[in-house]
Amino acid sequence: MSFPAIDWYLDADPMHKPLALALVLLLAATPIFSQSSARSSSAVQVTLVEVPVNVYDHAGNAIRGLTAADFELTDDGKKREITHFEEIDLAQLAAQKQTPSSAARRNFMLLFDLSNSTPTSIGRSRDAALQFVKGDLTEADVAAVATYSVENGFKLITNFTADRGALTAAILTLGNPKIFHTSDPLLLAATSAGGNMTAGPALERGGTKLNTGEYESIEQRPNAIIGPDTKDAMIAPFVESANRSNTRADEEYRRNRVSHEIQTFSNIARLLNSVSGRKQVILLSEGFDPKLVQGREAAGTVAETVNENDVAMSGHAARLNTDERYGNSAAASALGTMGELLRRSDVVLHAIDIKGLRGSSDAAEGNQRASNEGLYLMTRPTGGEVFKNANDLSTSFHALLKQQEVVYVLGFQASGDTPGKFHSLQLDMKKPDAKASYRSGYYEPNATPSAMETTLTAGEILLNDVAMDAVKVNVLASPFPVRGQSPQVPVIVEIDGPSLMAGANGLTVNGDLFIYAFDRENHVKDSLFQRFNLDLMKVGPALQLRGLKYYGTLSLPPGDYAIKTLVHIPSSSFDGFKRVDLTVPDFSKPTVLQPVATEQSGTWLMVRGTAKPGTTSGYPFLVAQESFIPASTWEISGATPQHLALFLYNVDPKDLVVTGKLKMTDGSTRDVRFDVVKATAPDASKASQVMLDLKADGLAAGQYALDLSVQPKSGAWSKAFTIPVAVP
């Protein structure tokens, strides 16, 4: 028996169906208040609010050694008792190779501004970003890479991840589809299509939009209509008016581009609110022209001011561009809103002036004033910094990291019943001369996250092992050797039917299944994705009986891995998460795999995932050429008691000693005896199998744990396993 394809309720080729999770987000030019995504709960209730705080002195040095008594926190004006306090020295954790909590973890987003940067500056910024990723990020840090342009909006290239390879590929290519691609729906791992990795995407300067039609219409008028003596006199004022109109139209065009950028950043706030902890967005840009928001700068404007005064005194004040002279109040107001939304979502926007050293003017721009004030306008409202006049941009990254070395996590108990409501936080420091950076408040969870919020939230769950159990999930993973290839690792996911149906949308259940294999450095080495669309009229009884059992195969070289599985039900925002640690052994040495329990067919709705291209491995769960269905729990009694399969390599079954103790519900243990149901001699590849039966009469119905020991008669080595056991 094996896993059949259930095409009548499941997409036949799910890997080629459109993904519901949006990989590119074109943010609308309307500010949206940030909302946090609901996490597996139909009742909105905040029990513990965690507030990460960075404290540093005037020189930007992190201050260590503070206690809860040094902080006073109020929530909507009400003083809160700090019930949880933690000082986390990220540099020390990195040295000890430990991972902080998601609230304290440093989350960096490298955001490349393609609309306000030259190709040369973008090239320099990529070099600095690569150095930041390779040399400055610690093992405890995560980062994401994104781009922004007025035409294409905000594009997330790589999700928050610790995978330096994925970040490097994203930085080198900036998402150029000709040289970058990924099949990962959560953007945790990325691969490059090869080719010229140093070539960037087409960059646009975002300059002017001139209308020359009016000039041509005048120049082409025949002299029969406009006499030669009067032509110049007629053209002169018209051209002057056209110049003013086109200049103003150009200013309006560029001002609209700046407004679009400000509104986009406001919407990024809503997006990043779904990520726990503080988010440090590092904008790599030359900045927009600040006069589009705040009016003309003081320097170099005397002649223009005199000319404008003459025009006004001559009775032609309508010709003046007041936005250019005094600034645009709507844009300034939008900047304030953007800053507030980012602070509410615990986002600090920093900027690195990738122009490098600037003078007072830029000859390339017609001797206009060369200013990075536009970057200050973007970062000031969030409490961020602008790093400028540094041709070696890596020094700017070092200065930024210096402030983030120590994080204080303040926690307090709170409850709420108004989804999406914002609570304002105020933090007072009792230590003099200390500067604190913290979020301005928090939102009560909302049950309707966007697709991109779901992408970020799912990535955070997988990366930080966030407990999710609204959907009950069990996972079994076991490696098997494959000649000429990396070992195959079948992954069996058991999804509890009743909890799956609890997230149904009417008579259907639509869900996404994500499986990732992370190595010790938190790099994604392989992954699986499956979408399922279940018609409850057809499969409801089968789901109610047990649930859905999925079978897919990873390919992993020898090493240690964390197999992380997430089941997400979009209609209800229900999630189920499970982590299983796995060692893929060197099969040339004596090897005993994790024992696998068998299961009776017909009790689960079974789904076999689509095989990956280039894989030739067969179904490995066979003993004496008879296949069986693997189970995460061994049912040892009842009408159809099941067996336990041992898979051996370079080990003779006749030389094995198998012993076990059963852990009882009261904490005591009980010796058990095994009977060999069948066994095979080592084949040409030195592989063999043993099928065991367990004798444990008189056990009451319930859940137990079996401690199993396997060793040769010589005692030269031993292997220990713990196996869940159930008595129905």
Specify the higher pLDDT residue, 521 or 632: 632
pLDDT for 496 beyond 60: yes
pLDDT for 192 beyond 60: no
User: Worst-scoring range by mean pLDDT, 95-99, 381-385, 418-422?
Assistant: 95-99
pLDDT in tens, 704-725: 999 999 999 988 999 999 999 9
pLDDT for 165 beyond 80: yes
Residue given tokens 């020295």 in the structure block: 89
pLDDT for 691 beyond 50: yes
* pLDDT score for 233: 43
Greatest mean pLDDT among 53-62, 305-314, 499-508 lies in 499-508
pLDDT for 191 beyond 80: no
Residues 401 and 415: their CA atoms lie apart, in Å, by: 34
* pLDDT score for 464: 87
Can you state the percent helix, strand and coil of the chain, rounding each to 5? 25, 35, 40
- Asked if 563 contacts 539 with a C-beta cutoff of 8 angstroms, the reply is no
* Three-state secondary structure call for residue 369: strand
Q: Which of 32, 31, 29 is nearest to 256 (CA)?
A: 29
Run of H or E residues at 329? helix 329-344
Mean pLDDT over residues 354-383, rounded?
Answer: 64
Tokens of 352: 């690195």
* pLDDT score for 618: 84
Mean pLDDT over residues 167-171, rounded?
Answer: 90
Residue 169, φ and ψ in degrees, nearest 5? -60, -40
* pLDDT score for 552: 94
Sequential DSSP letters for 333-359:
HHHHHHHHHHHHTTEEEEEEETT-S--
pLDDT in tens, 214-223: 223 323 333 3
User: Worst-scoring range by mean pLDDT, 46-50, 432-436, 518-522, 603-607?
Assistant: 46-50
Distances (CA, A) of 323 to 290, 293, 307: 12, 8, 16
Band (pLDDT 50/70/90 cuts) for residue 358 is low
Greatest mean pLDDT among 176-190, 581-595, 639-653 lies in 581-595
- Backbone angle region of 344, left / alpha / beta, with phi > 0 → left and psi within -120 to 50 → alpha: alpha
**Is the torsion defined by CA of 586, 675, 494, 700 positive or negative?**
negative
Band (pLDDT 50/70/90 cuts) for residue 584 is very high
Specify the higher pLDDT residue, 47 or 542: 542
Band (pLDDT 50/70/90 cuts) for residue 633 is very high
- What are the residues whose beta carbons fall under 8 Å from the beta carbon of 585, sequence distance 6 or more? 479, 558, 591, 593
Residues 240 and 245: their CA atoms lie apart, in Å, by: 9
Band (pLDDT 50/70/90 cuts) for residue 394 is low
Residues 609 and 606: their CA atoms lie apart, in Å, by: 10
pLDDT in tens, 252-263: 777 888 888 888
Residue given tokens 């649930």 in the structure block: 547
- Backbone angle region of 241, left / alpha / beta, with phi > 0 → left and psi within -120 to 50 → alpha: alpha
* Mean residue pLDDT across the chain: 76
pLDDT for 95 beyond 90: no
Any alpha helices (H) in 546-665, and if so which ranges? none
Instruction: Please count the other Cβ atoms lying within 10 Å of the Cβ belonging to residue 442.
Output: 24
Angle of helix 119-131 relative to helix 164-173, nearest 10 degrees, comes to: 170
- Backbone angle region of 94, left / alpha / beta, with phi > 0 → left and psi within -120 to 50 → alpha: alpha
Greatest mean pLDDT among 6-10, 444-448, 705-709 lies in 705-709
- Backbone angle region of 229, left / alpha / beta, with phi > 0 → left and psi within -120 to 50 → alpha: alpha
Instruction: Please count the other Cβ atoms lying within 10 Å of the Cβ belonging to residue 570.
Output: 16
* pLDDT score for 595: 95
Band (pLDDT 50/70/90 cuts) for residue 41 is very low
Mean pLDDT over residues 516-542, rounded?
Answer: 91
Specify the higher pLDDT residue, 498 or 405: 498
Band (pLDDT 50/70/90 cuts) for residue 447 is low
* pLDDT score for 652: 92
Angle of helix 228-272 relative to helix 451-464, nearest 10 degrees, comes to: 40
**Is the torsion defined by CA of 265, 132, 119, 391 positive or negative?**
positive
User: Worst-scoring range by mean pLDDT, 35-39, 98-102, 519-523, 601-605?
Assistant: 35-39
* Three-state secondary structure call for residue 306: helix
* pLDDT score for 225: 35
Band (pLDDT 50/70/90 cuts) for residue 370 is low
Band (pLDDT 50/70/90 cuts) for residue 512 is very high
- What are the residues whose beta carbons fall under 8 Å from the beta carbon of 677, sequence distance 6 or more? 643, 691, 692, 693
Percent of all residues in the chain with a pLDDT value above 70, rounded to a whole number: 74
- Asked if 353 contacts 388 with a C-beta cutoff of 8 angstroms, the reply is yes
Angle value at C-alpha 377, between 131 and 122, nearest 5 degrees: 30
Q: Domains in the chain, ordered, with CATH?
A: 1-22+462-589+601-618 (2.60.40.10), 633-728 (2.60.40.10)
Residues 628 and 599: their CA atoms lie apart, in Å, by: 7
pLDDT in tens, 302-323: 455 445 445 444 544 444 444 4
Question: For the CA atoms of 7, 10, 15, 18, what is the dihedral angle to 10 degrees?
Answer: 130
* pLDDT score for 160: 93
* pLDDT score for 307: 56
- Asked if 669 contacts 662 with a C-beta cutoff of 8 angstroms, the reply is yes
User: Worst-scoring range by mean pLDDT, 71-85, 115-129, 242-256?
Assistant: 242-256
